[in-house]
Structures are given as structure tokens and as C-alpha cells.
Structure 1
Amino acid sequence: MRKVKDGGPLEDRDTWLETIMDKYGERLTKLAYNYVKDWKLAEDIVQDVYITCYKNYEKIDEIISFKSWIFRLAINKSKDVLKSSAFRKVVMNSSLFTLFTSKELSPEKDLLKRSEEEFLSMCVLTLPVKYREVITLYYYEECSIEEIKGMLGVNQNTIKTRLSRGRVKLKKMMERWGYDGEQA
């Protein structure tokens, strides 16, 4: 997967990039989508991440945690897009629930589960970015607090506080819209 120390042929770099794309592509796109709320724009951001990876192939052995590094790239590029003057629209017509597959359930339970996931996803997407990013990384990407610290460059206690406040905001938002968390 990694290059040979003497530089190796170009196809090693290409194979390495294909492996990264297969392993992280969908997860990075979901992460970028969480920021920009536009699937096509999220895909463009991930393509930019791949270009950065390709350009930094020679330095890859210097990276301590590749997962943290590549997630950090996606987060930073997403935030750059949000800050750019070209970014003027927010798309809320699609939600994270379609990105997550579930085990085989009866059609009724599947519909109920998708409805609950859609509602939760929509609530997560309405959170301020600082809460949304830690909620997504912790719950959807199953990153540890230590990994999130590396990705966001934020103190562990700050991450714990944002997780706690994000959960409280989600709970209040869901209660306000009439979701009580009870199974039917």
C-alpha cells in the first residue's frame, strides 16, 4: 500500500490512491456533506482531498495517523468552502439517513427506522458546525475523543463539552418537534 523507500514506480502511487479512495471515499464524502449539505459539493471536496494526498505521497511516511490526517483535510477543505464567497446556498432537501444502510428488517420496521434516522439526521444537520462536527465524528464515524482532538486540533475537554452540549441541543430539538424516543 505504501511506496517503496527508493521512490518506487508511479503505479505504486496510483494503487495507493485507489486503496485510499476505496477505504475512505464514502466516509469522507459523508463528512464533507455534513458541513456543506450539498452532495455534489461534498464529492468535489473529497476529490480535492485526493489531489492533496496524491501530491503528498512522498511525505506519507511522516504522517503519524493517516486517518486523522485525511479526515482533517476533509474538514478543513469543507470549512474553506463554507467561508468562501462562492458558497451561497444551503441544500436541506437530502439527508444523512439515505447514506446509512440498515440490516434486513420487516418493511414496517424498516420504514419506522428510516423515518427516525431521517429525523435525527435532519436535527444533526441543523446544529451549529462546532457541535455537528463532533457529533458526526464521534457517533457516525466512531472516532475516539483522542482521534477527534487530532482531527480538529481542539482540547479534549472542549470536545467533551461540545458533545454534551450537542446532545442536549439535539434532545431539546427532538422534543420540540414531538419525538419522545419511544418505540411504537
Structure 2
Amino acid sequence: MVQGLKNRDEAALQALMEQYGDYLLRTAFLLLKDLQAAEEAVQDTFITAFRKIEQLREEEQLKSWLTRIAINRCRMRQRTWGWRNLLPFARMEEIPTDEHHPDTELQVMLEWRNERLSDAVHRLDYIYREVITLYYYNELSIREIATHTATNENTVKARLTRGRLQLRKLLVKEEVLKL
């Protein structure tokens, strides 16, 4: 696939999009809180990857390289002023999952819990939302997160700790308000 991209083969680009599209969209959505912005960030990621495929040094690092590009695109979108400052955030769209539970009540409870958790993650500051997303949703190691975000491993650990504490406070506060 990488060789096809280097030869500017559009079929290789299509295969790349099919293989990594959902993964990158889920990551971008969790980071940006907006499906349209996430889709644009992923589209920018694929365009950048296609244009700069020559910069990829090791083919087995393709997923990692794409993740780093997507994170940078999300950061750029966070920095820019745009429609998100004019319109209130839309309700979070459901993130597609492959899970299927035959028990309807269990399914409803899982969706409710995941919705609460996703809402709480979206209320975190971007730096905490970024590491929480990469660690828990993308299952990257602390070392990989440090590499992708160009930060120190200790910084990643500190952000994870602070992000978890903020999440706990948000969820506990929500429970207290319901009582």
C-alpha cells in the first residue's frame, strides 16, 4: 500500500482510507467533540499523508504516522477560531462500535454510561482529553502518546492523572446534582 501511495496510485489511497478511516475518525471525534470538524481533520490527514508519503521512513509505522498527523490536524482545528465560536456545540453523535449485547436493558445501561463518560471527556481541557482519548480509546502506551504528541513521558503521565481526577470530579458532581 505504501509503495502504491509513493507511486501516487489513487487505489492505494482508497485502500488506506478504508483501512484507517474509522480509527482516525473516532480519534478525531473524541478530540474535537464535533463530527464535522473530525471528518474534516481526517480528510486533511489523508490529503497530507498522500502528499507527504515520502517522509514515512518505515512502512510498519504507517498507523502511528497517520495518528500523529491526525492529532496535529486536531490541534490546529482547536487553535483556529471558527464556527464553533458562533454556534453552540451540537449533541455528540454516537461513536460507532462493533459491540452487540442481546440483553436490551444491559444495552441501554451501557449506552447511558458511555454517553455520560463521553460527555465528561468532552468537558475536559484539550490537553487532558487528548491523552485520555489516546490512552483509553486508542489503547496507545504512554511512550507512544509521548511520541505522537511530542511531549515527555512524565508529562503524559501527569496529564493522564489530572485528566482522570477531573473526570472523577465531573462524574461525582453530576451524581450529586441528580440527588
TM-score, normalised on structure 2?
A: 0.86
Deviations 1:29-48 (A, max 9, x none): 12222232221121111111
Mapped partners of 2:133, 2:88: distance in 1: 18
Cα distance in 1 between the residues matched to 2:97 and 2:52: 31
How many angstroms does 1:23 deviate by?
Answer: 2.0
Structure 1 equivalent of residue 15 of structure 2: 19
**Is residue 2 of structure 1 aligned with residue 18 of structure 2?**
no
Aligned: 1:94 with 2:92 = yes
The separation in 2 between residues aligned to 1:153 and 1:109, in whole angstroms, is 40
Secondary structure in 2 aligned to 1:151? helix
Q: Who is 1:153 aligned against?
A: 150
Pair 1:167–1:104, CA change in 2 (3 A)? same
1:139 correspondence with 2:131: no
Q: Is the alpha carbon distance of 1:69 and 1:90 closer, same or farther for their aligned partners in structure 2, counting shifts above 3 Å?
A: farther
Measured after TM superposition, the shift of residue 28 of structure 1 is 1.1
Structure 2 partner of 1:105 = 102
Amino acid in structure 2 at the alignment position of 1:116: R
**Structure 1 residue corresponding to 2:27, chosen from 15, 23, 31:** 31
Task: Report the RMSD for the aligned CA atoms in angstroms.
Answer: 2.2
Aligned-partner Cα distance in 1 for 2:88–2:3: 40
Contact residue 17 and residue 53 of structure 1 kept, 8 A: no
Per-residue CA deviations over 1:116-153 (Å, capped at 9, x if unaligned) read: 01000100110111111000000000111111111101
Larger mean CA deviation between 143-152 and 31-40 belongs to 31-40
CA contact (8 A) 1:68 1:148 kept: no
Alignment length (residue pairs) = 173
Q: Which has the higher helix share?
A: 2
C-alpha distance in 1 between matches for 2:68 and 2:55: 16
One-letter amino acid of the counterpart of residue 33, structure 1 = F
Cα displacement (A) at 1:62: 5.4
1:75 equivalent in structure 2: 71
The equivalent residue for 1:182 is none
Percent identity, please: 33
The verdict on how the C-alpha distance between 1:162 and 1:105 changes in structure 2, with shifts beyond 3 A counting, is farther
**Alpha-carbon distance change, 161 to 175 in structure 1, aligned in 2, over 3 angstroms:** same
Question: Which blocks of at least 5 consecutive residues in structure 2 are unaligned?
Answer: none
Q: List runs of 5+ in structure 1 lacking aligned partners.
A: 180-184
Superposition misfits of 4+ residues, deviation over 4 angstroms: none
| TM-score normalised per structure 1 | 0.84
Residue identity in the other structure for 1:107: T
Amino acid corresponding to residue 79 of structure 2 in structure 1: K
